[in-house]
Amino acid sequence: MQTADVIIIGGGIVGSSIAYHLTELGIRNVLVIERETHQGKGSTGKSMGGVRAQFTTPVNIQMSLYSIPFYAAFDERLGHPAGYRPQGYLFVATRPAHLQYLEKNQQLQKSLGLKDVRMVAAADIVAMVPQLRSDDILGGSFCSTDGFVDPYSAMTGFIKRAAENGAIVWKSTEVTGILKEGGRVAGVTTTRGEVRAPAVVNAAGAWAAQIAAMAGMDLPVSPLRRMLIPTEPFDDVSHEIPMVIDMTNGFHFRPESRGFLLAWNDPQETPGYKFDFDPEFIEKVLTRAADRVPCFENLAVNPKRAWAGLYEMSPDHHGIIGEFPELPGFYAANGFSGHGVMHAPATGKIVADLIASGGTKVVSDVSLLSPARFKSGKLLHETALL
């Protein structure tokens, strides 16, 4: 019979990071089960790749304070590129309430050790991105260590090192059941047979609720479509600018290759497994793009290059990380609500620490992320959503 010390269900960037961090702690008999023929075909390969520490809750900020330096040292540490580019995140405020919100957030961010965040005046914003329409800009917030990574490359780096350390990856393999014995998890059944293990991690992304249900657990994670539009090459705006977030309506964009990547979270989007890109979305985004960056009126977009991916949404927009109290040995690493890539290093470390020693130093109170919080009603509240 096949056995493992830890089974990880899902081989995307979160599952791969967990495998890496486990093997680095000396837990080498790790099995990663991926149902697709290739890893990263879920949310990982469709992510915008943004990384930021400009959050509003201590736990999210602390996860970023682990993850961003990790990405900065990724190439040297893992011998594989993560594509980290610290071009910053620039939040552009057009209302006094926006500025108050950013200032309040910065007090918390700085108190937790984020040194590179600062308020910027309207003139500073125009100097950074001269093409912005600035008649209504009051100021904003900028963090120079925020930026972007290549999610697929980072995932590859994690799993490659994990495999070198002894982890095994089963691709094209589906988990069909969760085994229990003596009131705790005992392994999984798969399309390749049964595997016994004292610890099983659910890292199945937008499909996490189905995996949890196999174990009789209720996991409030639902899929929500997010669409991204890459433009054709465009040189009228510098490709060294930061990620720009227009707080008026949530439109945001960043450089990508020789063009730009445009995004906007449509409030009319409803949950569901929707994988098709809606061509009507292009006009909605381009209207907002041209309003904030007038020269974007001339952007060329090929609808065939645009794509849709799934956020795995939790009720309070925070990750769900930790052991299910009702089923010892069964762990969640889910519900990141669009922050899975940026917090993958921290998630991997937290889960590995919990399995190895029952605690972690990545965040000051890991119980805040526990799956148990939904029954107790102790939900978190993150407002800096993208």
Residue 167 in domain: yes
Residue 336 in domain: yes
How many domains in the chain?
A: 2
Residues whose CB falls within 8 Å of the CB of residue 29, separated by 6 or more in sequence, listed in order: 3, 4, 5, 6, 166
Residue 376 has pLDDT above 80, yes or no: no
> How many C-beta neighbours within 10 Å does residue 126 have?
15
Average pLDDT over residues 355-379: 92
Q: What pLDDT score was predicted for residue 351?
A: 98
Same domain as 180, residue 127: no
Pairwise pLDDT comparison (217 vs 383), residue with the higher score: 217
Q: What pLDDT score was predicted for residue 337?
A: 94
> How many C-beta neighbours within 10 Å does residue 334 have?
30
The CATH number assigned to the domain holding 92 equals 3.30.9.10
Amino acid at 356: A
Same domain as 190, residue 100: no
User: Pick from 313, 336, 359: which residue ends a domain?
Assistant: 313
Q: Per-residue pLDDT tens for 35-77?
A: 998 887 788 778 899 999 999 999 999 999 999 999 999 999 9
Mean pLDDT for the chain overall = 95
User: Pick from 292, 313, 334: which residue ends a domain?
Assistant: 313
Residues whose CB falls within 8 Å of the CB of residue 4, separated by 6 or more in sequence, listed in order: 29, 30, 31, 168, 187, 195, 196, 197
Residue 55 in domain: no
Residue 373 has pLDDT above 90, yes or no: yes
Distance CA 57, CA 53 (A): 10
Amino acid at 179: L
Residue 199 in domain: yes
The CATH number assigned to the domain holding 186 equals 3.50.50.60
Q: What pLDDT score was predicted for residue 267?
A: 92
Q: What pLDDT score was predicted for residue 43?
A: 81
Residue 74 in domain: no
Same domain as 289, residue 319: no
Positive/negative CA dihedral, 204, 35, 225, 343? positive
Q: What pLDDT score was predicted for residue 383?
A: 65
Same domain as 293, residue 251: yes
Distance CA 96, CA 115 (A): 24
Q: Per-residue pLDDT tens for 323-340?
A: 999 999 999 999 999 999
Same domain as 229, residue 140: yes
Q: What pLDDT score was predicted for residue 384?
A: 62
CA angle 147, 148, 151 (to 5 degrees): 155
Same domain as 39, residue 163: yes
Q: What is the DSSP string of 50-87?
A: EE----SSHHHHHHHHHHHHHHHTHHHHHSS----B--
Query: Residue 1 — very low, low, confident or very high, per pLDDT cuts 50/70/90?
Result: confident
Residue 386 has pLDDT above 60, yes or no: no
Residue 380 has pLDDT above 80, yes or no: no
- pTM > 0.85: yes
Residue 382 has pLDDT above 90, yes or no: no
Q: Per-residue pLDDT tens for 246-280?
A: 999 999 999 999 999 999 999 999 999 999 999 99
Task: Give the lowest-confidence range in 47-56, 128-137, 217-226, 372-381.
Answer: 372-381
- β-strands 259-263, 252-256 pairing: antiparallel
- Rounded alpha-carbon distances, angstroms, from residue 272 to 223, 276, 281: 5, 11, 17
* Burial degree of 63 (CB within 10 A; 0-12, 13-18, 19+): buried
